[in-house]
Copies of this chain bind each other. A is one copy, B any other.
Amino acid sequence: MSRAALLLLSLAALPATAQAPGALMPLPVQLRWDPGALPLDSTLTARLVAGPDDRLERGLARALGRLGRRIGQRVATGAGTDPAARLVVTVASPGQAVQTPDEDESYDLRITPERIELTAPTTVGALRGLETLLQLVAPAPGGFQLPAATITDRPRFRWRGLLLDTSRHFMPPAVVKRTLDGMAVVKLNVLHWHLSDDQGFRVESLRHPRLHQAGSDGLYYTQQELREIVAYARDRGIRVVPEFDIPGHATSWFVGYPEFASAPGPYTIERRFGVFEPTFDPTREETYAFIDSFIGETTTLFPDPYWHIGGDEVDPTQWNQNPRIQRFRRTRNLRDNEALQAHFNERLGRILTKYHRRMVGWDEILHSTLPSGTVIQSWRGTEYLGQAARQGLRGILSAPYYLDHMRTAAEVYVVDPLPTGLKLSAEEEANILGAEACMWAEQVGAETVDSRIWPRMAALAERFWSAASVRDVPDMYRRLSQVSLELERVGLTQEGHTARMLRQLTGRRDNPLLEALLTATMPPSFGQRAQLQRPIQSTPLTRLVDAARPDPWLRSRLEQQARRVVADPAGAVEARAELQGAFAGWQTLGAAIRALADTVPLAADGIPAAVAMGELGRLGQEALDRRGAGGSDGAWGAAALARLDSLAQPQGLLRLAGVDAVRTLVRGTP
């Protein structure tokens, strides 16, 4: 393939990024565009109308710094009393000292050609409004401007979270901080920080130092770092809910303290991924004294009123094989191991209450004996959310929002945190606090995590904040494309991810062929990759699959073009041409990638996908021809759909992103 052809192929993959105003994400509750615009330059100054509030001042300074970097000119923070200030931020109260789900996050933003007025009942509301303001910055002839607008906004759900697993692969503080910066951009308010698991204990404990000394490979957060990160989050209106997963998923605790496990040990840090036997011994008072002491220590680090106990996937082996534990069960009339775990949780609950913390746990902890303040995080299925709500417990939904399942932004975006199928009363619905997306890190490291979370997380942030009726997928992608660039401005790395990983993988500065491959391929789901590659903790995450994006822009672009063709087979000329170009390019990839692999060893990973893309391209072209001809598809269509199901399976470690578009063409219905 010629160099120029390759370039065109990879270029075709990139959608033009629209410059229209209104790249807001999440969309506000009410938005009215008004006539005119306010010009932005270094003459803009800001004024705070608020009580003394360091957090608000820092937040405003950060926002003005970002504004200045955006327009390439200094924007001064301005004197507090400047009557000529054109940005006036009025805040009634600094808000809760320790933020809870009840914090008021609403704000009003009014932009006229002369002035910007941001008004909020709390500092957190003002921080949300400043993000909206920054998203409105638009180019203008000779400079930048803010379109005149009137916005009233507040979140639909009060718990809008992201779980970050830092146990399976450690994420340095800088990664956690830039994740928080990204969360702030899209108005998320909970970092659920998964801090321990079989593969690593990531928190420095002064009371029980063998936890981090023996259980972390030296990769842990010092107490100073934890305090800094919690403060960093609070500065952005984000709560930090720590999770220490017990009684299972606990191997790393027992490396230093084997005496609290249900079998004698010794233990080493688990390097594989899965569900493992080591489990806390729920029958010994020493266990609870130890946990009590540890929780007491962590509550000095994590002020949040919630504390996540994990509680998922308890392997019963150690309990079943320990005669003393079996005896304990019998003497206490605990029917089964679930009842034993409920007993454990009940003891935990009492400890947490002593430290003024509410319990959060995965849906396995659901049990009739749970205290009413408990929060159930539903991961195995939406039904547990309903069960909890009916039982009067609070709930947050995660089951549909696992980022490592590698669903597309569109797939996760359309799933509402309040599933209609649950048939809850209004009172029961009120128990549902919100939702969390989960970034488990078995197959993700510090180098790749941004590309797995972002920009998909921004679409979910809109789902958790905006009205249920906001669900126009093409418009979501249009705005997501812009917001992803704003996320890069605060330090996230997903935009340059593929190019950077390819340079490192090939040792070449310029990788048009592999770029072309990765514009139209995606990583497999967590389960598929676990089965195909069986990675362990030290498996390098530097292969083509790690350079791939979960939802490359070309996927939604081609799918939209396919819908246009199907809706108007004779008329959609541009859409047809774009599809044809992609399909033709794909048919040349197999041979080209095969040749490349002669000198670039790791390119060989891409051969199966490249070959399959050739077939997909031919199938797509055929479907396109048939759409033009308008004939009946009959047997051809059925065979093509079956073939597409097969092509939708992982090819090597990559999935073909073009299957959706071709399926639309074959089906012939948009």
Binding site for B on A (CB under 8 A): 3-4, 7-8, 11, 14-17, 19, 68-74, 139-144, 172, 174, 222, 224, 481-482, 485, 488-489, 495-496, 499-500, 503-505, 507-510, 536, 538-540, 542-543, 553, 598-602, 604-605
CB distance from A440 to the nearest CB of B (A): 21
Do B139 and A507 have beta carbons less than 8 Å apart? yes
Nearest CB to that of A12 among chain B residues? Answer: B3
Copy number in the complex reads 2
Do A504 and B482 have beta carbons less than 8 Å apart? no
Kindly list chain B residues whose C-beta atoms are within 8 Å of the C-beta of A499.
Answer: 496, 499
Kindly list chain B residues whose C-beta atoms are within 8 Å of the C-beta of A3.
Answer: 11
CB distance from A81 to the nearest CB of B (A): 20
CB distance from A73 to the nearest CB of B (A): 7
A88 to B599, CA, bound (A): 28
Kindly list chain B residues whose C-beta atoms are within 8 Å of the C-beta of A14.
Answer: 509-510
Nearest CB to that of A499 among chain B residues? Answer: B496
Do A601 and B485 have beta carbons less than 8 Å apart? no
Nearest CB to that of A604 among chain B residues? Answer: B142
Kindly list chain B residues whose C-beta atoms are within 8 Å of the C-beta of A495.
Answer: 500, 503, 509
Nearest CB to that of A7 among chain B residues? Answer: B7
Kindly list chain B residues whose C-beta atoms are within 8 Å of the C-beta of A598.
Answer: 141
A174 to B173, CA, bound (A): 9
Kindly list chain B residues whose C-beta atoms are within 8 Å of the C-beta of A72.
Answer: 505, 540, 542-543, 601-602, 605
Do B481 and A144 have beta carbons less than 8 Å apart? no
Q: Which of B143, B482, B538, B604 contacts A601 (CB 8 A)?
A: B143
Do A540 and B68 have beta carbons less than 8 Å apart? yes
Kindly list chain B residues whose C-beta atoms are within 8 Å of the C-beta of A508.
Answer: 17, 19, 485
Q: Which of B144, B489, B543 contacts A504 (CB 8 A)?
A: B489
A143 to B603, CA, bound (A): 10
Nearest CB to that of A446 among chain B residues? Answer: B491
Do A74 and B504 have beta carbons less than 8 Å apart? no
CB distance from A646 to the nearest CB of B (A): 27
Can you report 11 A-B residue pairs in the complex whose CB atoms are below 8 A from each other? A17-B510, A71-B602, A72-B505, A72-B540, A72-B605, A73-B540, A142-B604, A143-B601, A488-B503, A495-B500, A496-B500
A507 to B144, CA, bound (A): 12
A503 to B543, CA, bound (A): 25
Kindly list chain B residues whose C-beta atoms are within 8 Å of the C-beta of A8.
Answer: 4, 7
CB distance from A146 to the nearest CB of B (A): 14
Nearest CB to that of A224 among chain B residues? Answer: B224
CB distance from A22 to the nearest CB of B (A): 13
Kindly list chain B residues whose C-beta atoms are within 8 Å of the C-beta of A142.
Answer: 601, 604
Q: Which of B4, B7, B174, B601 contacts A144 (CB 8 A)?
A: B601
The 6 A-B residue pairs with the shortest CB-CB distance in the complex, in nearest-first order: A496-B496, A69-B540, A69-B542, A174-B174, A7-B7, A68-B540
A542 to B503, CA, bound (A): 25
A553 to B510, CA, bound (A): 13
Nearest CB to that of A19 among chain B residues? Answer: B599
CB distance from A56 to the nearest CB of B (A): 16
Kindly list chain B residues whose C-beta atoms are within 8 Å of the C-beta of A144.
Answer: 601
Kindly list chain B residues whose C-beta atoms are within 8 Å of the C-beta of A174.
Answer: 172, 174
Q: Which of B224, B503, B538, B553 contacts A74 (CB 8 A)?
A: B538
A68 to B602, CA, bound (A): 12
A174 to B493, CA, bound (A): 15
Do B11 and A510 have beta carbons less than 8 Å apart? yes
Nearest CB to that of A142 among chain B residues? Answer: B601
CB distance from A650 to the nearest CB of B (A): 17
Q: Which of B485, B507, B539 contacts A482 (CB 8 A)?
A: B507
A430 to B143, CA, bound (A): 58
Kindly list chain B residues whose C-beta atoms are within 8 Å of the C-beta of A69.
Answer: 504, 540, 542
